[in-house]
Amino acid sequence: MHGKLAHRALLALIPVGLLTTASLALSAMNQAPAPIPFIPPAEQAAEVTEPAPPPAPQARTVKPPVAQAERVVQPEQTVAQATEDPAMTEITKIAEEPLPELVVDKTPLTRALVELDRAVEQAKLAVTALDGGSQERYIQETINLLAGFGDASFRPLAPSASAESYKGVRPLLIEARVVREAAEVQWIASVQQQLEARSRKLAEIAQATGANGGTVAAPAPASAPVDLHAAVGPAGVLGTRGVRPEEQATEVVSQALRQAAEALKMVNGAATDQAAAAMEAVVRRLEVARKIVQIAIDR
């Protein structure tokens, strides 16, 4: 009887124990800590081995030593004092004074160019002439225009022929050369006077500065000095190294004159091919002379 009662009490206590155990389990689950996140091994190693980058250094402005050296060697005050030196200013002004220009009267050259154009036209007509009379007349007119009224080869073809209407290319070129030589002689004299005056002024400034206990250094010339001895030609006048354009043109015109005189002898009552060929050569020579005269005008 008592054994059955104990057995029944035991069976009654089993559910109570199960409920108590379940209640304790639920209470432990509610009080569990937050789960720890999973970190891969590679990331853990990176976090341990890679230190944080250091902060970037601040940029500093450093002046180059050259600028400091220049400021020490040549202060601004010294430069200002040098520029305000009246002696130095006067020397610079004298050294920069321009030399006189060579001025040549080119009127004879321009007239020679006009006469050359007329002579070329007459020579071309002599080349295309169909009869001996026309060819002879055109050749003679070419000679008259080249030689001029006072030349021995001049033959007037009209009563109105005069020294004024036939100045002649060759005489005009000779006149142009003489005019240029006179202008060059005058130019050389002017340059020499200016150079001598410049030397005297510089010497006076140097003497006055030395008397006051100062020193003035002569400035470098703005241009190369004029070597008059190298510029003067054999005739004692300034010219190019060789023959002047006026002289070159005169020589070419003289050759054309001789060739035209030979062509005139080839005309025998009728126009000849030999005279036409000779006048073609005269035209070519006169074209060359015209270019040379233009060069002389443009100088």
pLDDT above 90: percentage of residues in the chain? 38
Q: How confident is the model at residue 222 (pLDDT cuts 50, 70, 90)?
A: very low
pLDDT at 4 over 50: yes
| Max Cα-Cα span within the chain | 192
pLDDT in tens, 103-147: 899 999 999 999 999 999 999 999 999 999 999 999 999 999 999
Give the pLDDT score at 258.
Answer: 96
Q: List the one residue out of 287, 285, 299, 298 whose CA is nearest residue 251.
A: 285
What's the CA gap between 18 and 20, in Å, rounded?
Answer: 5
**What is the crossing angle of helices 273-298 and 107-128, to 10°?**
160
Rounded mean pLDDT, 158-186: 92
Least confident of 11-25, 123-137, 153-167: 11-25
CA distances from 232 to 99, 106, 228, 263 (A): 17, 21, 6, 40
**232 pairs with which residues across the strands?**
238
* DSSP three-state, residue 238: strand
- Could you identify the residue written with the tokens 């060759």? 170
CA 279 to chain centre: 44
pLDDT at 54 over 80: no
Q: How confident is the model at residue 200 (pLDDT cuts 50, 70, 90)?
A: confident
What's the CA gap between 159 and 139, in Å, rounded?
Answer: 18
Rounded mean pLDDT, 242-250: 87
Rounded mean pLDDT, 207-219: 62
Query: How many separate helices (H) and strands (E) can be counted in the chain?
Result: 11, 0
Rounded mean pLDDT, 246-255: 95
Q: What radius of gyration, in Å, describes the C-alpha atoms of the chain?
A: 56
Query: What is this structure's pTM?
Result: 0.60
Tell me which range, 175-184, 216-225, 248-257, is most confidently predicted by mean pLDDT: 248-257
pLDDT at 37 over 70: no
Give the pLDDT score at 133.
Answer: 93
Q: How confident is the model at residue 77 (pLDDT cuts 50, 70, 90)?
A: very low
What's the CA gap between 98 and 100, in Å, rounded?
Answer: 7
Residues whose CB falls within 8 Å of the CB of residue 127, separated by 6 or more in sequence, listed in order:
276, 279, 280, 283
